[in-house]
Chains A and B, each alone.
Chain A
Amino acid sequence: MTGSSVSVIDLVHRHVGQQHPVRVEKIAIEAGEKVAIMGPSGCGKTTLLSCIAGILSPSSGEVQVGEIRIDQLSDARRRKFRREHIGLVFQEFELLEHIDVMENSFLPLWLDGREPTEEEQAKLIERSRRCGIEDLLHRKPRALSQGERQRAAVCRALMTSPSLILADEPTGSLDGASGRAVLDLLFEEADLTGATVIVVTHDSTILDGFDRVEALAGSAS
C-alpha cells in the first residue's frame, strides 16, 4: 500500500448561513508525506479536511486525492471512497458508546456490509498491541481513559489500511504526553504502510516528526 497525493486548488466552501466563505488557494501534498495544517481559529482548517475527506462538497475549486477528483464524485461514491481509502481521526474520538473497542474498529468494514477477514482481525490485534490497548479490545469506550480512547480511534482509522490518514486536532483532548504518543503511533503506522498523513492542529508544540507545515491564513474574510 502506498500513500495518496493530495491536491487542493482554488477551493471555496460556503457554509449555509455563513457570510464569509472558506478559501484555500493551493495545497499540494506528495504521497507519503506527513503534513501539519495550522492556522488561527475559524480559518477553515476543519472545512478543508472535510472537503479532502469528501464529507463536504466544495462550492467551487478542485480537490484531488491520488487520481480521483473528490469534488466531482457523487455523494454515494464519496462515501465509498472515504470508507475504502481514508482513515479519519477526530478530536472527540467519536467512538460508538454501545459497542466495544474491537467492534468500533470493525465499523468501517461493517458499514461496507462485510465482516472482517481472519487476516484483518489478526492485523487489528497486532496493531492494538502496538497501540497498547490489546487488553482493552472488549471494553466499551466509556471504560477507557481519554488517551486509550484516542488510540482506539486510531485503530479504527487504520482498519482498512487507508492510503490517506486525516486527523482533526487529534491531540486536542489529550495531555502533552498522551497527544505525543498518539501522533507517534500515527507516524509509525504511516511509515509501515506508506500512507499520507494530514493533521490539522493549532498546537505548535507537536510539530516534531512532520515533513512540513502548511499554514492557512485567516482566509474567511
Chain B
Amino acid sequence: MSGPMLRLALRSLAHHKVRTVVLALCIALVGVLPAAVDGLLDLYRARLEARALSTPLVVGAPGSRSDLLIHALYYRGEVERTIEMKVAMEAGESGLGVPIPIHLEGSVNQYPLVGTTPDYQEFRGIRLAQEHHWPQRLAEAALGAGVARSLDLTVGGTIATDVHKLHDLAGSYPLLLKVTAVLPATGTPDDDAVFVSLHTSWVVTGEGHGHLEIDPEKDFHLVLESKSNHVTASAAVVEAVEVTPENEDSFHFHGDPDQLPITALIIDAKDAEGATILRSRFRRQKDLQTIDSMVELKELLTVVMRAKAILDANSMLVIVATTLLLILIVTLDVKVREREVKTLERIGAPRGFVARLLFTEVAIVVLAGGVLSYLLAIAAIRFIAEGPLLLP
C-alpha cells in the first residue's frame, strides 16, 4: 500500500464521516461481546484457579461438590447441610494441619458474613495496618476492601447484620458490628466479604444470644416455664442488638460447643503427607465429603467452557453476517461512487487501483472498528473486574 493510496483512502473516509463512523461502530459492536467474554473468562479463570490453588483441601457435608467449592472459596451460595465443629477440633488435634472453620450463613448489607478463626488471616497472608486487628471478640468485624469502599466505612465504624427471619416467632435481631480492620484489596472474594469470629456468626444465626437477666419473680410475664435450674422465656424478652462491656457476659450458647455448626472446613495441611492422611480420614466418614479444589474447579470450568462454545458459535455467525453485509455495502458503494471511479480510470489509474483503494478503505474501517472493539472490551473487563466475582 503506497502513501498516496493511503492518503486518498483516508480523505474519502473522512469525507463520508457518517458512513465511516457507522461502519466502524457496527464492527466494534460485533466484536466487543466475544472479546469481552474471552477477556473476562480468562480473568476469572485466573482468579478462580489462584484461589483454588491456595485452598487445596476443603471438607463439608455430603451434597453438591461444586456448591461446597463455591461456598467455601468464593463465599457464594449455600450448602445443603452443615457439619459440626468437632470435625475441625479433631483435625487440629491430629497435628497434621491447621483447621480453618468457615461459618457462612449471615450477611451484612447483602455482603457475605464469614465466621472464622484468626488462623484465616495467617492462612491467606493478610497483612493489616498497625491500628487494625483481626476480629476476635464478639461483634468485631473485619471488612473486605470492596465492602469498606462501597459502604464508606473504616476502623471504628459500626454496621448492622441483615435480618433474614422477619417472621421468626422466637425473635431474630440484627447485631451491631464494630469495624476493627479493613483488609487490603487483593482482587479475591475476600474483598467483598465481612469477617467475624465464629462466635459472632453463631450469634447472628441464633446459635447463641445475649439478653438481660430474667428474675422469675419479677419478670413472671416473660416466663413460659420455670424449673429449678432452667428458665424458658418468651420471645418478648428483648435480645441485645449490640455487644457492650455491660452485656458481653450475658452472651451464651446453648448446647454442646463441639456440635455448633460450620458450613465448611478449610485444611491448611502441614505437608503433602499430612494432607493425604487427613483426606483419607475424612473420606472414611460418611457424614463428610472432601474436595480437591483444583479438580472441582476444572470440572466446573469445563461446563462453563461448553456454554462459551455456544456463545462463540453465535458470535461467529454474527461476524459472518456482518462480513457479508460489509461486502454488500462496498458493492453498493462502488455504484454510488461510479463517477469518481470513472474519473480515476480516465486519468490513467493503473489496473486494480480502484479495487485496492476500496480494499484500503475497508481495511482502515475494519481496523478502526477492531481497535474500538478492543478498547471497549478492555473498558468493559476493567469495569466488571472491579466488581464482585460474577458467581451465583
Contact = CB atoms under 8 A, between A and B. Distances in A.
Interface string B1-33: 011110110011011100000000000000000
Nearest to A55: B346
Interface string A73-102: 001100111111010101000111111000
A103 interface: yes
Interface string B37-67: 0000000000000000000000000000000
Interface stretch (A16-24, A104-112, A189-197): A104-112
Given A88-B346, A114-B4, A98 B12 contact: yes
Chain B interface size range: 20 to 34
Contact of A80 (B2, B11, B348): B348
B340 interface: yes
B253 interface: no
Contacts of A113: 2, 4-5
Contacts of A97: 15, 340
A30 interface: no
A25 interface: no
A107 B347 contact: yes
B350 interface: yes
A111 B343 CA distance: 12
B350 A79 contact: yes
A115 interface: yes
Contacts of A81: 348
Interface of B is mostly: helix
Given A99-B8, A113-B4, A108 B351 contact: no
B359 interface: no
Interface string A105-142: 01111110111000000000000000000000000000
B2 to A, nearest CB: 5
Contacts of A98: 11-12, 14-16
A203 B377 CA distance: 64
Interface string B338-352: 011011111111110
Given A98-B11, A98-B14, A111 B2 contact: no
Contact of A110 (B8, B339, B342): B8
Given A94-B343, A99-B11, A103-B11, A83 B3 contact: no
A79 B351 contact: yes
Contact of B347 (A76, A82, A103): A82
Contacts of B2: 113-114
A88 B347 contact: yes
B4 A115 contact: yes
Given A98-B14, A99-B8, A99-B11, A76 B3 contact: no
Interface residues of A, number: 30
Contact of B350 (A76, A88, A103): A76
B353 interface: yes
B3 A111 contact: no
Nearest to B12: A98
B348 A79 contact: yes
Contacts of A99: 8, 11
A111 B347 contact: yes
Interface string B358-388: 0000000000000000000000000000000
A88 to B, nearest CB: 6
A113 to B, nearest CB: 5
B111 to A, nearest CB: 57
B188 to A, nearest CB: 54
Contacts of B344: 96, 107, 111
Nearest to A96: B340
Nearest to A113: B2
A81 B347 CA distance: 10
Interface string B314-346: 000000000000000000000000011011111
A51 to B, nearest CB: 13
A110 B9 CA distance: 12
Contacts of A96: 340, 343-344
Nearest to B352: A76
Nearest to B350: A79
A108 B8 CA distance: 12
A90 B345 CA distance: 13
A154 B106 CA distance: 85
A163 to B, nearest CB: 14
Contacts of A75: 351
A109 B348 CA distance: 10
Contacts of A90: 346
Contact of A108 (B5, B15, B340, B348): B348
Contacts of A114: 2, 4
B350 A115 contact: no
Contacts of A111: 4, 344, 347-350, 353
Given A98-B12, A98-B14, A98-B15, A108 B4 contact: no
A80 B350 contact: yes
A88 B346 CA distance: 8
Given A79-B351, A83-B347, A106-B4, 6 more contacts: A79-B349, A82-B347, A82-B348, A84-B348, A88-B346, A108-B347
Q: Which 3 A-B pairs have the closest CB atoms?
A: A98-B15, A83-B348, A110-B4
22 contacts: A55-B346, A76-B350, A79-B348, A80-B348, A80-B350, A83-B347, A88-B347, A90-B346, A94-B342, A94-B343, A94-B346, A96-B340, A97-B15, A97-B340, A98-B16, A103-B7, A106-B4, A110-B7, A111-B347, A111-B350, A114-B4, A115-B4
